[in-house]
Chain A
Amino acid sequence: MAKFDPIEGRYVYLTIQGVKYRVYYEESGQGIPIICQHSAGSQGLEWRHMLTDPEIISKYQVIVADLPYHGRSLPPESVQWWKEEYKLTKSFFIDFQIELSRALGLERPVYIGTATGGFLALNLALEHPDEFRAVIGVEAAKHAGTATLDTFDHPNIGNDYKRANAMYFSAPANPEKYRRAITWVSMLAAPPVTKGDMNYYFIEHDLTGKTQQIDTSRCAVYFLTGEYDPTSTVEDTMELAKEVKGSKFTEMKGMSHAGMAENPVLFKKYLMPILNEIASK
């Protein structure tokens, strides 16, 4: 008898900012909907453990999409995308979540995103608090600082760079099988995509001076940050949590930048109290 995962995958057509996209998404479970957003230069595979966790999918409807240009969501057919540099913008990233939620008929889902997706949790809570019952920002910060993006898409730098980098964005004591899988997933992204996603991460995302406008009575806000993350540090998120009144912050000891993928068992330990609190409201 063959063994199957409980995941179902299909495509949905979303029109975002006037352009039609064929978007791949996977879902499993029933209950409160949770939209899970992957990180920069990655795809929904990052959330595969959450899609198959029996306890989680017994209470929650877990939805994981590949952003356009990522994973199985190809660039749109109606646009000559090869004539311009790919860049993920804040407005597109926000609109994508809203359109996905509406197209799937979700009723005030929970949003959880990591790294780039973790940053977006703040934008959603600030600009669309009534669309989501709660947001969970994993590795979130007000601003990522500055970085050189060209190394992510350079003709003389291949995928070896991404695999080497990705390995050390997971914490050293976590299971090697998961850490190595992260390196593989990082190599699946087209090089322009990794660089283009960084446009939002390093350049467009900056909530300096705006965090106190987030109303957690309309949309609950939670933060999870890994002890080892060198980009969004525990201190960065603590500072952020102090400014977002009513938010809750938990440091994930022994974790780094890709919690749900680098150690799903440990990540679940940190996540479940948050999900249970959201469900109890």
Chain B
Amino acid sequence: MAVHFINPNKTSSFINVLNSDPEFKIAARYMTKDVCIEVGKTKCIVKFRDGVITQMKSENAFADPWDFAIRGSVDAWEKFLQPIPPRFYDGIFGGMIRGNFVLEGDTVSAFSHFWAVTRMLDIFRELQNK
């Protein structure tokens, strides 16, 4: 299964859906951070500016800076993106507790914007299965 949110051809549609989602708009308020979502060896840098996603970059992003990163194997993300994920892959926090995902960097910022991040990842799942 291909992970859609790291597909450069799908980036603009993902950004449109995210920025127009009512819950995401509330959850991402005030957020100005660069978030790295790492799928195996592929990095996807999501740039938030004043609560709006301005860029998702997964090509040639290996040297781009970020504030915090969520890392998981390809297998872990594929499980996470299933319509009904298996246990310990259904949420990032629980996945971190069980060692399936890793959070690194400015963790205070990550947790202060955790609602925005988790809503974004849920939308990734919704679009993966559309």
A residues sitting closer than 8 Å to B (CB atoms) are 151, 154, 156-158, 160-161, 163-165, 167-169, 171-173, 227-228, 230-231
A182 to chain B, nearest CB (A): 13
Q: Quick one: given A172-B84, A172-B90, A228-B87, are A160 and B115 in contact (CB under 8 Å)?
A: yes
A251 to chain B, nearest CB (A): 11
Q: Quick one: given A227-B87, A230-B87, A230-B88, are A165 and B112 in contact (CB under 8 Å)?
A: no
B27 to chain A, nearest CB (A): 7
Show 14 A/B contacts (Cβ-Cβ < 8 Å), sorted by A.
A151-B107, A156-B112, A157-B108, A160-B114, A163-B115, A164-B114, A164-B119, A167-B91, A168-B90, A168-B93, A168-B118, A171-B87, A172-B85, A231-B97
Residues of A with C-beta under 8 A to B93:
164-165, 168, 230
Which residue of A has the minimal Cβ distance to B107? A151
User: How far apart sit A156 and B109, CA to CA, in the bound complex (Å)?
Assistant: 8
Find the residue from B85, B91, B112 having the highest chain A CB count within 10 A.
B91
Query: Which of A168, A169, A173 makes the CB contact (< 8 A) with B84?
Result: A173
Q: Quick one: given A161-B114, A163-B115, A230-B88, are A169 and B94 in contact (CB under 8 Å)?
A: yes
Q: Does B92 contact A (CB under 8 A)?
A: yes
- Interface size classification for chain B: 20 to 34
Q: Does B98 contact A (CB under 8 A)?
A: yes
Residue pair A165, B114 in contact (C-beta under 8 Å): yes
User: How far apart sit A165 and B119, CA to CA, in the bound complex (Å)?
Assistant: 11
Q: Quick one: given A165-B93, A230-B97, are A156 and B118 in contact (CB under 8 Å)?
A: no
The 9 closest A-B pairs by CB, nearest first: A168-B91, A230-B94, A160-B115, A164-B115, A164-B114, A228-B87, A164-B118, A172-B90, A230-B97
Interface residues of B, dominant DSSP: helix
Q: Does B57 contact A (CB under 8 A)?
A: no
Residues of A with C-beta under 8 A to B90:
168, 171-172, 228
Query: Which of A158, A167, A231 makes the CB contact (< 8 A) with B118?
Result: A167
User: How far apart sit A164 and B111, CA to CA, in the bound complex (Å)?
Assistant: 9
Which residue of A has the minimal Cβ distance to B92? A168
Residue pair A158, B112 in contact (C-beta under 8 Å): yes
Residues of A with C-beta under 8 A to B98:
230
Residues of B with C-beta under 8 A to A160:
27, 112-116
User: How far apart sit A173 and B97, CA to CA, in the bound complex (Å)?
Assistant: 21
Query: Which of A154, A167, A171, A227 makes the CB contact (< 8 A) with B108?
Result: A154
Which residue of A has the minimal Cβ distance to B28? A160
Which residue of A has the minimal Cβ distance to B118? A164
